[in-house]
Structures are given as structure tokens and as C-alpha cells.
Structure 1
């Protein structure tokens, strides 16, 4: 008698990473203010992109001169491979916030602050035209958890403090747009001039103060000086701070040392560094 043994081999698909690389191209651009440009990207794979809202962080890779597409490694060890690339091949990379995501239309918006010729992102955006291609590392909708956002108020906080310069405006705008209607918040936004000010979609309990530098350099302490003069609402605050690195560090120090906020109630991030670069 012959016995037949059937063996079933089960192949487990590779686990989906929290972030995936999306190859996209410029669909259109829109000037939001004198120094803010919205670039809308499109691509069929954006149907798999997702966002938690708030300050959803993504990475943009820009092509080097002479390239149509940036050369970007993919996979779980992409960053190690990226760092190992030679300088004449490795594309510039910068961190941005999702300003809008429409998966049905396969479109994603990113707002760029135009600093003239000060960095690769600003240079690229200033001359971006429909059809120009970049790569975006963004959350993958197939992953069970969305990562890459930091606005997470503690459950027992009573109100929110948001503060940042124009580089933080896209993130603060998104945070306000999804803030619960009954949430109280105090917002400070530092911009170059009054022309950068615009209406923000936010709950009735949010008080927004625009601070115009009026020709003064960014990162000069405008936010700290304004907040130091402000009487805070009663209760326990949660603070979210972003902008020029040294200014944000000084503001966080003021809140903890002079205003008595608990360190764990303060999130802070240096989005850029005066005289340097932050990827």
C-alpha cells in the first residue's frame, strides 16, 4: 500500500512597514502667501497612503541636478543604505507635514516655506512645475498603526499651548482643524510679515496671536517674549512647540523653569536650524 503525504507550504507575506515610499509628481502649485507655496502631488500609489492628521510627519526626497527621479533605496533598512550612498547620488531629504490628503483623487498636499536659495527644498519648490517628480516616505494605510505624529495631549490636560514660526504653520493648521470643539487652546504664530497671516479653521475656544517679525531675523526670541507676557488659562496645559531649533529650546526652557510646566507636558521640535540643516 502506498501512503501519500501532502505537505502544505504556507508563505507569509512580508510584514508591511509603517512607512512606504511613494513615487509622485507635481500636479499643481498654489501660492498661499508671499512665502508659502502649496504643492499638490499625485500618483496612483497614493491610494495606499494615510495620515493620522495633526502634525503628520513625512520625508521628501528631491532629485539631484540632472536627475528626473531621486534615487532612493526601499525596504526596512532603507536609511542605512541611504546613508551609505555616495554624495553624488544620495538625494537631499527634508521632513514636512501633510497639509492635505485625498486618497480618492490620489493627491497629497505639502506646504513649503520659500526661503529663496537657502536650502534644497526651497530651491526645488520655487521652480516646481507640473510633471516634476520626487519621492515621499509616508504612512502606509495597510499598517495597523499610524506612526509619525507627535501632537498627543495628556488625558488630564485642560488646555493646549501651540507655538511656532512659519515652518510650523502647516502642522499647527492641521492640529487646529481636527481639534475637538470643546478644547481650549492658546496659539502663537511667528511670521515674517502681516501678509503671511490668514484665517485658521479652529474651535471657538481657541485664541490665536500672530507675531510679525517686521524684518527681524527668524529665531530671535519673538515667541518667547510674547508668551512670557501672557497669562495662561487655569488648569494643566499641554504644550506643542516647533520652529527654529535654538528658539524652540529656549521657549521650552522658559515654560519648564519659569512657568512651572512638567517636562512630560511639553513636546518640542527643531524644524530647522539657523545657519545649518536638519533632515
Structure 2
């Protein structure tokens, strides 16, 4: 896994986060595996807590139908947001702030909060079907969306809400940039790379589904790649000061590290590829006591980490929340695989068991 991480204590800094890809990807696709793999560790405690936002996802109708989950939940509101801010966070991540009067007075639903973003194929204003009036909810709406001719149907991608300002009516989303901004980069990455003040973006949500809150004193283990970084950063900001947390984050290299803030005592492990998330998690020594784990990122890596936590560390399955944000060699436009359906089933069963 490369050389052992340096450990040191830091206080009072800031943070960042994001996602887009093949197969339900959220923030950035870690497709390039070059450079020297290293894991760096920092222990930090912050004096200020930022807004609570983590990452959620309303369930994909395809996977939910086949997994036995309900897809009749009400459709979240659809809004056209206008870009009012663009900020580079790292060489591969860009923060976009959008505004809409419809977001005034809105509030964060839970630490796991997600939106569906829509990108018009012609670069204009994305249009989506109206909410169904027959009670079919998200499932019925999704069927209408798929019925729109492909040449007119806007691309849809899932992203984490990094921040929501109800007073200003603003929403912040962090995007991982892939490739060189060409057609091969994907619609969300292309849009984010070129976004300018005044551009528009379709937003469905925010919404949350199946979020499980751990008991107050449980040690939080947050693990993921750069696609999970926005959610990890937001979760750390929202932690109470009397809990402990360990974050393990895989990124391309040191340039992709971000400052993370939390009122809690947090130990942060940065993993530089080609070192892997699973190897880093295996090597981490967790504090004594009850542990609640949240794992997100590339689907196969997420499964490997989850198997390790349950099979080798002995965590209860219900104590591991996991989400495959993206699938290697697939996009969110592709149908779910059998493994996707199995994962969705297990996620819903665990969420139902824990209430």
C-alpha cells in the first residue's frame, strides 16, 4: 500500500467535495490509475460545523422494481437553476453554485441528500415530463421520461447536494472532471468543465431515501473515492463534537486532497492511486467501541470494503451503509446489472430493519 502514513494533528481548516460517470456515477470517475500510491493520515478536530449535507439517492426505478422496493414515493420538485458561481477546487474538481427562487426556504432533508441533474442535448434548457397524477410517483415519472424520444430526452445524472442555502435560494454541487471535456467525458463532466455564469441546469430534488442514522456515540467510518468526497465532507461537517470518526478517501494524487472540517475528532487517511481503498481500509485501526460504516464509490470497490468490514472485522450488516455510485465500463444510462439489483435489495432490507 505504499509507505505508512504520516500522522499529525491539525485544527481549524476548510474542506471540499463531488461526482459523474459511467453507471450511476456521482462525482468523478477514477478511471486513471497512475502515479505513486501513498496513504497520508491526518487527525483533525474543527471548531466550526458546516451545514449538514451528505449524500442521498432516490432509488432507480429499474433496480427498485426488480428488488421489490417501492417506486411510488412522491416525485420531488423539478427546478431550473441558473449558474451564479464557478470555483475550481482541485485540478479535477469544480464547484458550481446554482440559484432559484424555488429553493428559498428549502431545508436539508438529511445528511444523505441527492438530486437528479438534467443536461439538454442541444445545450439549451432541459425539459422533463410533468409529475404523473395517477399516484405512480417516481416510477410513473421515469416511464414517461424514457418515453421521450432519445434525441430530445435530456441526459440525467445523480449528484450529491454539497450545500443548500435557503436564505439565498442557492444550491452547491461539486463535479469531478473527466477527460478533456470532449464527448467522451460524459454529459455532466462536459457541462461542468464549460459552465459559466448564466448557464442553466435542470434539478429534480433534493430528496432522500433510506438514510440510516447511527446511534449517537458510534464511531463513524467513512470510506470512498473522489465521487464520495462531497458526501464525506458534508457528513464530517455535521457530526456532533462528542463522536469520533475515521475517513478513508481514495484520490488520484496529492493535488486532489481537500481541507476537511468537522467539530468532531476525525482521523483522515488520503489514499493516492495506484494504492487502493480496500487495502487502506484493511490497514486502518479503528477506535474501540461501536462502529457505523458508510461506504460509497465504484461498485466493486464498495463491495470489497463491505465484505471486509462484515466478514473480517465482524460488523453487523446493518451497521454498514453502502452505495455503488458508479460501475466501471457502464454509465447511468445502462440497465442495472444483477449485482446492482442484489445490492439494492440488501440496502433496502437493512434500511427497513433499522427503521
- Tell me the TM-score normalized by structure 2: 0.67
Task: Measure how far apart 1:49 and its partner are.
Answer: 3.5
Contact 1:18–1:147 (Cα < 8 Å) also in 2:
no
The reply on whether 1:133 has 2:200 as its aligned counterpart is: yes
Q: Which residue of 2 aligns with 1:45?
A: 102
Q: Which moved more, 1:203-212 or 1:103-112?
A: 203-212
Task: Provide the residue aligned with 2:116 in structure 1.
Answer: 59
Moved over 2 A (4+): 146-151, 155-158
Which residue in the other structure is 1:9 paired with? none
- The answer to whether residue 321 in structure 2 is matched with residue 260 in structure 1 is no
Does the alignment pair 1:72 with 2:128?
yes
Contact 1:100 1:108 in 2 (8 A): yes
Q: Could you say which residue in structure 1 is the equivalent of 2:269?
A: 209
1:36 aligns with 2:90: no
Greater shift in the superposed pair: 32-41 or 222-231: 222-231
- Judge conservation of contact 1:186–1:206 (CA < 8 Å) in 2: yes
CA contact (8 A) 1:156 1:236 kept: no
Q: Which has the higher contact order (CA 8 A, sep 6+)?
A: 2
Determine which structure has more spread, i.e. the larger CA radius of gyration: 1
Where structure 1 has 5 or more consecutive residues not aligned to the other structure, the ranges are 1-15, 140-145
* Residue-pair matches, total: 250
5+ residue gaps in structure 2? 1-72, 132-136, 334-355
Helix, strand or coil for the counterpart of 2:116? strand
Please state if 1:244 is matched with 2:305.
no
Aligned positions of 1:156-175 closer than 5 A? 158-175=218-235
Asked if residue 98 in structure 1 is aligned to residue 161 in structure 2, the reply is: yes
Find the residue that maps to 1:249 and give its secondary structure: helix
Q: Counterparts of 2:304 and 2:264 in 1: how far apart (Å)?
A: 30
Post-superposition shift, 1:118?
2.8
Q: Is residue 152 of structure 1 aligned with residue 198 of structure 2?
A: no
In terms of mean alpha carbon deviation, does 197-206 or 86-95 score higher? 197-206
Cα distance, 1:50 vs structure 2: 2.9
| Cα distance in 2, alignment partners of residues 24 and 204 from structure 1 | 33
CA positional deviation for 1:236: 1.7
Question: Normalized per residue, which structure has more helix?
Answer: 2
1:15-38 alpha-carbon deviations (Å, 9 max, x no partner): x94611111111121001111100
1:119 aligns with 2:119: no
The equivalent residue for 2:61 is none
Q: Deviations over 1:176-233 (max 9, x none)?
A: 11111111111101111101112211134211111111xx3xxxx7111011112222
Please identify, of 192-201 and 76-85, the stretch whose mean Cα deviation from structure 2 is larger: 76-85
CA contact (8 A) 2:271 2:277 kept: yes
Q: Distance in 2 between matches of 1:191 and 1:34?
A: 12
Q: Which residue of 2 aligns with 1:277?
A: 331
Q: Deviations over 1:215-261 (max 9, x none)?
A: x3xxxx71110111122221121000001111111111111111111
SS of structure 2 residue aligned to 1:41: strand
Aligned equivalent of 1:198, options 244, 258, 277: 258
1:169 Cα offset (Å): 0.5
CA contact (8 A) 2:219 2:291 kept: yes
* Change in 2 beyond 3 A, CA 1:28/1:222: same
In structure 2, do the counterparts of structure 1 residues 87 and 48 end up closer, same or farther at CA, with 3 Å as the change threshold?
farther
Q: Is the 8 A contact 2:239 2:264 kept in 1?
A: no
Alpha-carbon deviation of 1:74? 2.3
